[in-house]
Chains A and B, each alone.
Chain A
Amino acid sequence: MKLINRLFIILISCLLSSVALAKDLTVGLKSEPSSIDPHYHNLGPNNAFATHIYGTLVGSDENQQHYPDLATSWKPIDDTTWEFKLRKGVKFHDGSDFTADDVLFTAQRAQNVPKSPSGFGTYLKGKEFIKIDSHTIHIKTKKPYPLMPNDIMTVKIISKKNGEGATTADYNSGKAAIGTGPYKFVEWVPGDKIVLKANENYHGAGTGMPKYKNVLFKPIKSGPARIAALLAKDVDFIDNVPPLNVAKMKKNPTIKLNSGPSNRVIYLHMDQFREDSPHIKAIGGGKIKNPLMDVRVRKALSLAINRDAMVSKVMEGIAVKAGQLLPAGFHGVSDKMKPDAYDPTAAKKLLAEAGYGDGFEMTIHGPNDRYINDAKIAEALAQMFSRIGIKAKVETMPKAVYFKRASRGGPNKSPEFSFMVLGWGAGSGEASSPLRALLHTYDKSIGMGRANRGRHSDPAVDKLIQKALGTVDSDARGKLLAEATEISVGKNYGVIPVHYQMNTWAAKSGCSYTPRTDERTIATYLNCK
């Protein structure tokens, strides 16, 4: 009898595991999260990883579009109040119920994590969370706040019961790492591995029930080593395949590659606030009035860029030409703007019109370990500019040095460089993100233009951006943002977009990853046969 019982159990468990969760998955990650605490460090690898364990009220799909996760619906009920209806019957990993109290607790905790090197205060401050009943909350703001779902999308919901008094260390050890997500936390050995197991009671929103019984993340920083681990079958799936390797890997029948455009635009910032720009000289080294102040010069530089060559040669075909700040399909992009066509003759004419027909000398600064092929991009730009008579030197440096100098390396903490290669990923998944950070006038008091390293400033653009940020109607807001882009990028050349980065994931054959525009690597978006 005992034997029959045991056989029966084995049979059942075999059946169960082979039907629902047959497989284990090992993932080779370029960047490991710095914590299991979802509110400790607001940065890409952490936010991507936390999605496995924790849910959000508003989910973000592969195109950063919203879907109902822990909230089933949300809408503004008056100018300054949003109502969120919470999903009923959701359980945390420890079996306790998810209610409005957990949301209120999360909202408090997420902006007050001690020692947090980058917090969620940006998304939560000025918002008052009110519990209406156990599954309804209201969020009140002082002024109309249309981007509420975009902000709420970033904040992972933790359990009040397990989270009260818990420190970041309690999350890292797993004690407090209790969420509602598709996977449960098992173990983290920093630098070595993170182990997760399927949450069989997942509520099934987003990509549905977890497809793997156990998921193991292994941080493998070096690109060639990550590829080798996949080829050696030590891992099933890797992210951040270097473009250089893509062509060769495509020929390998045991590997499936998936590439997709990201929300990250590679663009050029130009000094527009100093008559005497530190890295620009007349030919021969004499003083010269900063040519980048003249919109004709900025336009000429854009026309001098051969974006087709940039994409096909420098980026090995793994990029998309850019004419604005976000690719088509995102909210608030303009449908009128196209990437500037390569036209060195027109560029030379514009330079002559502006009084710089003899050209000038300029140093292009860029990072060499931040964006895909960033140093090569800077070098290619220098060559392209030399064709219209601009003698460009290139200086690249590690991001650790670069960003400080680019933001505040000059006198009085002003940006140091004259001409910079930079990138911007729109975390909110719509056009206000790059517009307010890169093209709104730099203004500390209202938190605008923080990354405006060229200090471009146009009151008309500022007005449009601020109006958009206060417009609740989605279509009207989209139009305002598109108009702001058309003026600031299309007319003013406040920045010059070059291309949108593409990311490539690789998995063993039989598997396929749905590329995410936010560059995140999330196991639930990998489907295996």
Chain B
Amino acid sequence: MTAFIFTRFAQSVLVLFIMSLLVFGGVNLVGDPVEMLINPEADQAEVERVIRELGLDRPVTEQYWYFLVNAFKGDLGDSFIFGEPALKLIIQRMPATLELALFSLIISLIVAIPLGIYAGYKPDSKASKVIMAGSILGFSMPTFWVGIIFIMIFAVQLGWLPSTGRGEIGTFLGINSSLFTLNGLSHVFLPALNLALFKISSVIRLTRAGTREIILQDYITFARSKGISEKRVVLIHVLKNILIPIVTVVGLEFGSLIAFSTVTETVFAWPGMGKLIIDSIYNLDRPVIVAYLMIIVTFFVFLNLIVDILYTFLDPRVRIKGDH
């Protein structure tokens, strides 16, 4: 196990290095941040001062070398726009994104697993067909549009939920989160549902496929012939066995929930990392773009690792190489 984790760790560092090269190179090919930052009325002398101030007068290779050296010290550079460390800006906004992703993950699991099992258990019933058709909708409707529709229905027409922003922040066990206040929950619900929609659809399909496969297995027939109640068959034998693919996908997709929350965060003006990265891309805030992508890559790498470890607990057949 230790050896396995060590190998994976070494691989991760390599991935991060290659990624930094690609991202830094790519970002430096595009556009001119000074044109984005400077007041149009500034004269040429002021433009040159800013270019020097941001270190953009140096060759890209030199800039990259500075970036690498500083990155090893844990400094991913200062934002061009805010003048503060990019890492600090991202970490400041991370809790908002994490709570949004977590809440939407919970919504999607609560909704999708029962529906998926039902659709797999009774594939020919009318309700199952409705569920499956609904999941296609969930896949195909653009997040941006659904977000606006949610706002128009639940905030503008019905007035049940707030349309924008993050709510009050509460503290529980030393953690600050808007999930701990009623006002905060009312704010997070719509964006989380918006973000969860795609996930709900994919988990429904996954659960259904798993259920259909497992329900035909010999051990289910055997369990039934032993006279075990249908409820127990579904809740214990089926559920346990379909969890493996679900955990994989959910684990990986938690990363994508975080990485792709950008659209939802923009529509709901949610002050998270996603909104920060979108703004940074529009304004060519290179250090923030690079830092953000590095963090996201790290995230994915570690989520993969956690998923692999979880496997061993869920399925004793999976053996990790290092154990032999």
Confirm or deny: B275 has a beta carbon within 8 angstroms of a beta carbon on chain A.
yes
* Smallest CB gap from A424: residue in B: B40
Can you offer 12 A-B residue contacts whose CB atoms are under 8 A? A34-B81, A42-B39, A116-B53, A190-B89, A192-B96, A222-B266, A229-B163, A401-B31, A403-B31, A424-B40, A444-B44, A447-B45
Given A232-B162, A407-B32, are A219 and B269 neighbors across the interface (CB < 8 Å)? yes
Confirm or deny: B37 has a beta carbon within 8 angstroms of a beta carbon on chain A.
yes
User: Given A121-B45, A122-B43, A222-B269, 13 more contacts at CB 8 Å?
Assistant: A116-B83, A118-B42, A119-B42, A191-B271, A191-B272, A220-B165, A221-B278, A228-B164, A229-B269, A399-B36, A404-B31, A424-B40, A428-B41
Q: Is the CB of A192 within 8 A of B166?
A: yes
Interface hits, A1-58 → B, CB 8 Å:
28, 34-35, 40-43
Per the bound structure, the CA–CA distance linking A460 and B32 in Å amounts to 33
Q: Is the CB of A400 within 8 A of B282?
A: yes
Confirm or deny: A395 has a beta carbon within 8 angstroms of a beta carbon on chain B.
no
Among the 9-residue stretches B64-72, B148-156, B211-219, B301-309, the one with 4 or more Cβ atoms under 8 Å from chain A is: B148-156
Q: Mark A191-231, 1 if CB is under 8 A from B, else 0.
A: 11100000000000000000000000011111011001101
Confirm or deny: B3 has a beta carbon within 8 angstroms of a beta carbon on chain A.
no
Q: Is the CB of A118 within 8 A of B38?
A: yes
Given A190-B89, A225-B151, are A407 and B279 neighbors across the interface (CB < 8 Å)? no
Per the bound structure, the CA–CA distance linking A472 and B78 in Å amounts to 43
Interface hits, A434-464 → B, CB 8 Å:
437, 444, 447-448, 450-451
* Smallest CB gap from B147: residue in A: A225
Confirm or deny: A234 has a beta carbon within 8 angstroms of a beta carbon on chain B.
yes
Q: Is the CB of A228 within 8 A of B151?
A: yes
Confirm or deny: B93 has a beta carbon within 8 angstroms of a beta carbon on chain A.
yes
Confirm or deny: A163 has a beta carbon within 8 angstroms of a beta carbon on chain B.
no
Per the bound structure, the CA–CA distance linking A482 and B45 in Å amounts to 27
Q: Which residues of A contact B43 (CB under 8 A)?
A: 122, 447-448, 450
Given A118-B50, A192-B165, are A228 and B80 neighbors across the interface (CB < 8 Å)? no
Q: Is the CB of B83 within 8 A of A168?
A: yes
Q: Which residues of A contact B117 (CB under 8 A)?
A: none
Q: Which residues of A contact B267 (CB under 8 A)?
A: 222, 224-225
Which residues of A does B touch, CB under 8 Å?
28, 34-35, 40-43, 114-119, 121-122, 168-169, 172, 189-193, 218-222, 224-225, 228-229, 231-235, 369, 398-401, 403-404, 407-408, 424-425, 427-428, 433, 437, 444, 447-448, 450-451
Q: Which residues of B contact A407 (CB under 8 A)?
A: 32, 35
Q: Which residues of A contact B278 (CB under 8 A)?
A: 221
Confirm or deny: B92 has a beta carbon within 8 angstroms of a beta carbon on chain A.
yes
* Smallest CB gap from B269: residue in A: A220
Per the bound structure, the CA–CA distance linking A234 and B187 in Å amounts to 11
Q: Is the CB of A232 within 8 A of B271?
A: no
Per the bound structure, the CA–CA distance linking A326 and B34 in Å amounts to 26
Q: Mark B46-80, 1 if CB is under 8 A from A, else 0.
A: 11011001100000000000000000000000101
Our pick among B96, B159, B279 for the contact of A232 (Cβ within 8 Å) is B159
Q: Which residues of B contact A424 (CB under 8 A)?
A: 40
Given A116-B83, A401-B31, are A193 and B41 neighbors across the interface (CB < 8 Å)? no
Q: Is the CB of A118 within 8 A of B93?
A: no
Confirm or deny: B30 has a beta carbon within 8 angstroms of a beta carbon on chain A.
yes
Q: Which residues of B contact A192 (CB under 8 A)?
A: 96, 165-166, 271
Q: Is the CB of A400 within 8 A of B36?
A: yes
Confirm or deny: B276 has a beta carbon within 8 angstroms of a beta carbon on chain A.
yes
Q: Which residues of A contact B31 (CB under 8 A)?
A: 398, 400-401, 403-404
Confirm or deny: B283 has a beta carbon within 8 angstroms of a beta carbon on chain A.
yes
Our pick among A119, A191, A400, A447 for the contact of B283 (Cβ within 8 Å) is A400
Confirm or deny: B315 has a beta carbon within 8 angstroms of a beta carbon on chain A.
no
Given A221-B279, A400-B30, A400-B31, are A117 and B83 neighbors across the interface (CB < 8 Å)? yes
Confirm or deny: B82 has a beta carbon within 8 angstroms of a beta carbon on chain A.
yes
Confirm or deny: B223 has a beta carbon within 8 angstroms of a beta carbon on chain A.
no
Given A34-B82, A222-B266, A404-B31, are A232 and B165 neighbors across the interface (CB < 8 Å)? no
Q: Is the CB of A220 within 8 A of B164?
A: yes
Our pick among A40, A218, A221, A222 for the contact of B83 (Cβ within 8 Å) is A40
Confirm or deny: B281 has a beta carbon within 8 angstroms of a beta carbon on chain A.
yes
Q: Which residues of A contact B54 (CB under 8 A)?
A: 117
**Range of interface residues on B (Cβ < 8 Å):** 35 or more
Q: Which residues of B contact A114 (CB under 8 A)?
A: 83
Our pick among A28, A118, A225, A447 for the contact of B44 (Cβ within 8 Å) is A447
* Smallest CB gap from B165: residue in A: A218
Q: Is the CB of B46 within 8 A of A118?
A: yes
Q: Which residues of A contact B41 (CB under 8 A)?
A: 122, 427-428, 433, 437
Q: Which residues of B contact A448 (CB under 8 A)?
A: 43
Confirm or deny: B179 has a beta carbon within 8 angstroms of a beta carbon on chain A.
no
Confirm or deny: B284 has a beta carbon within 8 angstroms of a beta carbon on chain A.
yes
Our pick among A28, A42, A221, A433 for the contact of B275 (Cβ within 8 Å) is A221
Per the bound structure, the CA–CA distance linking A519 and B32 in Å amounts to 25
Per the bound structure, the CA–CA distance linking A118 and B49 in Å amounts to 9
Our pick among B49, B81, B92, B166 for the contact of A119 (Cβ within 8 Å) is B49
Confirm or deny: B268 has a beta carbon within 8 angstroms of a beta carbon on chain A.
yes
Q: Is the CB of B37 within 8 A of A117?
A: yes
Q: Which residues of A contact B93 (CB under 8 A)?
A: 190-191
* Smallest CB gap from B41: residue in A: A427
Q: Which residues of B contact A221 (CB under 8 A)?
A: 266, 269, 275, 278-279
Q: Is the CB of B36 within 8 A of A232?
A: no
Our pick among B164, B268, B281 for the contact of A400 (Cβ within 8 Å) is B281
Given A220-B164, A228-B163, A232-B159, are A437 and B40 neighbors across the interface (CB < 8 Å)? yes
Q: Is the CB of A225 within 8 A of B269?
A: yes
Given A225-B151, A400-B281, A400-B284, are A118 and B30 neighbors across the interface (CB < 8 Å)? no
Top 7 A-B residue pairs of the complex, sorted by shortest distance between their CB atoms: A447-B43, A404-B32, A191-B271, A192-B271, A117-B37, A403-B35, A232-B155
Q: Which residues of A contact B269 (CB under 8 A)?
A: 218-222, 225, 229
Confirm or deny: B84 has a beta carbon within 8 angstroms of a beta carbon on chain A.
yes
Q: Which residues of B contact A225 (CB under 8 A)?
A: 147-148, 151, 163-164, 266-269
B50, chain A: closest CB distance, angstroms: 6
* Smallest CB gap from B266: residue in A: A222
Given A115-B78, A220-B269, A225-B151, are A234 and B38 neighbors across the interface (CB < 8 Å)? no
Interface centre among B151, B159, B266 (most CB of A within 10 A): B151
Q: Is the CB of B46 within 8 A of A115?
A: no
A285, chain B: closest CB distance, angstroms: 29
* Smallest CB gap from A40: residue in B: B83
Q: Which residues of B contact A220 (CB under 8 A)?
A: 164-165, 269
* Smallest CB gap from A228: residue in B: B151
Per the bound structure, the CA–CA distance linking A214 and B267 in Å amounts to 26
Given A35-B82, A222-B269, are A451 and B40 neighbors across the interface (CB < 8 Å)? yes
Per the bound structure, the CA–CA distance linking A450 and B35 in Å amounts to 12
Our pick among B38, B148, B284 for the contact of A228 (Cβ within 8 Å) is B148
Q: Is the CB of B276 within 8 A of A191?
A: yes
